[in-house]
Chains A and B, each alone.
Chain A
Amino acid sequence: MKDISRSVPKEDHEEKVSGRALYVSDIQMADMHYAKTVRADRPHARIRNIRLPELPEGYVVVDHHDIPGANHVNMIFEDWPVFADSVVRHVGEPIMLVCGKDKQIIQSICDEIVIEYEDLEPVFDLQESVVHKSFQKGDAAAAFARADQVVERVYETGYQEQAYIEPQGFVGYLEGEKKVTLIGSIQCPYYVKNAVIKTLACDPEDVRVIQAAVGGAFGGKEEFPSLIGCQLAVAVHKLKKPIKIIYEREEDMIVTTKRHPSKTTMQAALDSAGRVLAIKAHVALDAGAYIGLSGVVLSRAMLAVTSAYTIDHLDVKGDVYLTHTVPNGAFRGFGAPQMIFAIDMFMHHLAKHLGKDPYQFRKAHQAKQGDRTATSGIFRDPILMDAMVEKATSMSDYHRKQKDYASPDVYRGIGMSWFLHGCGFTGSGESDHIKAKVRLRKSDTDHVYVLVAAVDMGQGAKTTLKKVVVETLGVPYNQVTFDDPDTDAVPDSGPTVASRTAMIVGGLLAQAAQTLKETWKRGETQVVEKTYRQPEFVIWDEKTLRGDAYPAYSWGVNIVEVSVSPVTYEVKVEKIWSVYDVGKALDERIVLGQADGGIAQGVAYGYLEVMRHHGGHIQHKNMTDYIIPTAVDMAPTETVIFDNPYALGPYGAKGVGELSLVGGAPAVAMAIEQAIGRPIQKIPATPEMIMELMRDETH
């Protein structure tokens, strides 16, 4: 049998390299109109009055008064307004759209609008908890009571911006009298559709959402586009013209969701032999002005509390806080990067505190097949971490370097992270909320269409999902078509998020293809559908957060080597080694692409990417000031993929997309820690912070 991992040309390669792919900004329509958003310029205020200039013919403003349905974006928490009504709660909060034909005139109208505010006291500290969660494993209280000693450390992480190349954008138009069609740069066509239905208070068939070519997303186009989609749908109904809206780069960086800043307090109860008996953890997330998806991000952070280690007794708590800042949301890793930074640094710091070799200390706590997970579920599948760690340490010469770099005057360091990532939605999310459905349609010419809502945003979903179908059917590639999803044509196979697409959607497509193959009737139209069913072994209680949080886990090891300049305190990443267990690579080159991109983003989160706000105003709002690594900053990488097929994944595949990001920050932070001989508890570890640490100036 042919090995599925053997790479094929990417499905979207030709259209993207040739420039034929149509991004939102490339879409032309007769009589195209444009929209621009008028936004709040302060963090917290009551709108007293809005003075509009005289609007020329053909120009309209659209605000909350125009919404026929609910003035909130349909998400898990329904607190996020489509347009602000009387109070604004963050800088950049949308108040209205100005729409018309000429962009310069729209701009002039926006410039002339005067909004009178009464300022209200803004809150920027984590004071107001709006979501609280907790879970227990074993008996942490008893373990703490009998502990030989208790060690506490606090870990902090900053914002991270998705920095997709293509800013947010949509084109919207009416089909007939009342059906609105939206073409957008989105990850989740059905999220947009369902949100628009609520805002318009219309029937499902009156909203159609089509995915345009997507120039990167990283979670930034998971829930946020629903907001724009709702606004634009309202505008399209009012103006009855096609309207295009595309964010400016600065606008995008100021107003779109980012990775939640976090503060995690870790306490360990240690026995006299220096083993961790129990951990108490509290993670605090800054949601910004609205909760949105933050409660779910919090869950994923909490569930990752022990990452790739097994600790028998846990007391885990978390809170989401509202502040008068830009709402935070989905970003590759979804809470896990914050927690994995905290736990991996903590294990390292505990070992140092105890005077033990961190490597041996971590080994002694490493999770094994059959162990209880943090939420008292079971690690059912084989865990290959012993072999993976062995591979990573030998290819990087980790142990020798660890010794050589211990002396203070070499300013070099090597750091290693171990981690896992739960694949798919948490707990029963897939079966209770998503209920993914896929469809294969065969025409009477025996051509097969893959009908799913999965979006290719560059990560390769089109290639791998089509490959699963092609290989299962045993037909040539040109006999199968996978068009960008259109909600009028595809069933809801769920959002393109949470490292679920290859495993869940791909798994269903493999089943559908198998059925089609078995029932194949030449020259006849056939349709096969499959709907997700929770594996029977997965038992999960959403209230107590107890049971199997995920059906499967991907695993990883990252090793990062750095040098730090004692003159400028700048970090140079010298090399990065990674070993991953993703079940089975559906396409080796695509997995390696995810590996390189993910680790670049993960490592940069740890030392390079700085974003802060000042009084609620984002300070790093363009690509000059928000520093992501360029090709010359990126260190060489060496990546090894282990096969460990997962019985329920297509060809054994598990999740890939987020795994390669989550371990980057602790690995680079540990490397910097060694190079400068000072502990790191906060990321990004900027040159400014490294200076203060090296000069013992921290307060």
Chain B
Amino acid sequence: MVRHVIPSSYREALVHLRDGSFHIVAGGTDIMLKYRNAADLPPRFERDVLYVLNLDELKYIHVEEGVWRIGALTAYETLLDHPEIPDVFKSAWIDIGGPGLRHVATLAGNIANASPAADGIMPLYLYDAQVVLESCAGSRTLPIDAVITGPKQTAIGPQEMIREIIVPKHDFDVATWVKVGTRKADAISKVSFCGAIKVESGVIKDLRLTLGSVAPTVIRARDLEATVKGITLTALEARLDALLDAYAARIRPIDDQRSTKHYRQQVARNLIEDFLKQQIRKG
């Protein structure tokens, strides 16, 4: 029989993780589906279960010098209500599920679930967010792309849990989010995209692009981004096709019941092209 444990403090949760082997349940919107049973029957958990959703200690948004710190158990709807969180985050998060789901589901759950089609994490890649993992032995801070190592795979140790997410502030001129899910709510992304740019006197200071659902993990090609930093938008226009081809070579979409490889490839390319052309047009 699996044990169901509801810790009364974060510290207690970490002690349980040290002493046992647990499934962590935050909002439960991924994990309850993963282990679901036939209707009316309890889930088929493989290990003991640690329910952390009630730990108010991990529900916070701290605005600090240069960064936001987001407590691991803060629900999306709380994040959406916060006045200072940038729009690109909010537009991605409001596309997750429906209102009921967003009142319990968490960003930490989205990270730890490590789905190739996850939406919540996309702007974290754009902003170079960091994830604080903690166990009784101490804490470590890893960049988001070091936490998610593959589809359904993370660097989170069995005794660790996500404590918080640190998001550095940026003053991009534009930061956008596009979800291609075919319907407008309760849809799993076929392709998703974030783009951000900072231009000074026609010269690109910073350009960041992320693509979701087209590879085992979110794509952010820092090396390709580096090739356009410091060049003018006019120069970018001349290199656009080459850049698009370089991105196309990076993405490895699949055929599944939701869409085709071909569609995902083409739309990913279109999204980058559309974003960059808009910036070029603006000059």
Contact = CB atoms under 8 A, between A and B. Distances in A.
Interface of A: 36, 103-104, 107, 246, 248, 566-570, 608, 612, 619-620, 623-625, 627, 629-633, 686-688, 691, 695
Contact of B263 (A566, A608, A624, A688): A688
A104 B37 CA distance: 9
Given A608-B182, A688-B259, A624 B267 contact: no
B270 A627 contact: no
Contacts of B257: 612, 619-620, 625
B183 A629 contact: yes
A619 B257 CA distance: 6
Contacts of A627: 182-183, 187
Given A103-B41, A248-B38, A567-B274, A691 B266 contact: yes
Contacts of A687: 180, 182, 259, 263, 267
Interface string B150-164: 000000000000000
B38 A632 contact: no
A103 B38 contact: yes
A224 B191 CA distance: 37
A81 to B, nearest CB: 25
Interface string B48-91: 00000000000000000000000000000000000000000000
A568 B270 contact: yes
B266 A104 contact: no
Given A568-B191, A687-B182, 6 more contacts: A107-B41, A566-B270, A567-B274, A612-B257, A691-B262, A695-B266
B183 A568 contact: no
Nearest to B191: A568
Contact of A633 (B41, B178, B184, B270): B184
B11 interface: no
Given A569-B267, A691-B263, A630 B182 contact: no
Nearest to A620: B257
A88 to B, nearest CB: 22
B235 interface: no
A633 B258 contact: no
The 9 closest A-B pairs by CB, nearest first: A619-B257, A632-B184, A688-B263, A630-B185, A567-B270, A567-B274, A568-B180, A632-B185, A633-B183
Given A107-B41, A248-B38, A567-B267, A624 B183 contact: no
Contacts of A620: 257
A106 to B, nearest CB: 9
B180 A633 contact: no
Interface string B231-251: 000000000000000000000
A614 to B, nearest CB: 8
B114 interface: no
Q: Most B CB atoms within 10 A — which of A620, A623, A625? A: A625
Given A688-B259, A688-B263, A630 B184 contact: yes
B188 interface: yes
B260 A568 contact: no
B38 A570 contact: no
Interface size class of B (residues with CB under 8 A): 20 to 34
Contacts of A686: 182
A567 B180 CA distance: 10
Contacts of B19: none
Contacts of B180: 568, 570, 687
Interface of B: 37-41, 98, 178, 180, 182-188, 191, 257-260, 262-263, 266-267, 270-271, 274
B186 A630 contact: yes
Given A608-B182, A687-B182, A687-B263, A246 B270 contact: no
A160 B16 CA distance: 49
B258 A568 contact: no
A608 B40 contact: no
A625 B267 contact: no
Nearest to B187: A627
A627 B188 CA distance: 10
A567 B182 CA distance: 13
A608 B262 CA distance: 19
Contacts of B271: 567-568
B258 A625 contact: yes
Contacts of B263: 569, 687-688, 691
Contacts of A624: 186, 188
Contacts of B187: 627
A566 B277 CA distance: 14
Nearest to A627: B183
Contact of A568 (B178, B185, B186): B178
Contacts of A570: 180, 182
A691 B268 CA distance: 13
A136 B257 CA distance: 42
Q: Most A CB atoms within 10 A — which of B184, B259, B260? A: B184
Contacts of A246: 39
Contacts of B182: 570, 608, 627, 686-687
Contacts of B262: 688, 691
Nearest to A34: B40
A513 to B, nearest CB: 43
A52 B259 CA distance: 40
Nearest to A612: B257
B41 A248 contact: no
Contacts of B41: 103-104, 107
A688 B260 contact: yes
Nearest to B260: A688
Contacts of A612: 257
A628 to B, nearest CB: 8
Nearest to B271: A567
Nearest to A604: B183
A686 B259 CA distance: 9
Contacts of B260: 688
Nearest to A568: B180
Q: Most A CB atoms within 10 A — which of B41, B182, B185, B266? A: B182
B38 A107 contact: yes
A695 B180 CA distance: 19
Contacts of B274: 567
B267 A248 contact: no
Contacts of B178: 568
A338 B86 CA distance: 47
Q: Most A CB atoms within 10 A — which of B38, B98, B178, B262? A: B38
A619 to B, nearest CB: 4
A495 B38 CA distance: 32
A568 B184 contact: no
A495 B270 CA distance: 51
27 contacts: A103-B40, A103-B41, A107-B38, A246-B39, A248-B38, A567-B271, A567-B274, A568-B178, A568-B267, A569-B267, A570-B180, A612-B257, A625-B258, A627-B182, A627-B183, A630-B186, A631-B185, A632-B184, A632-B185, A633-B183, A633-B184, A687-B180, A687-B263, A688-B263, A691-B262, A691-B263, A691-B266
Nearest to B274: A567
Nearest to B33: A624
Contacts of A103: 38, 40-41
Contacts of A633: 183-185
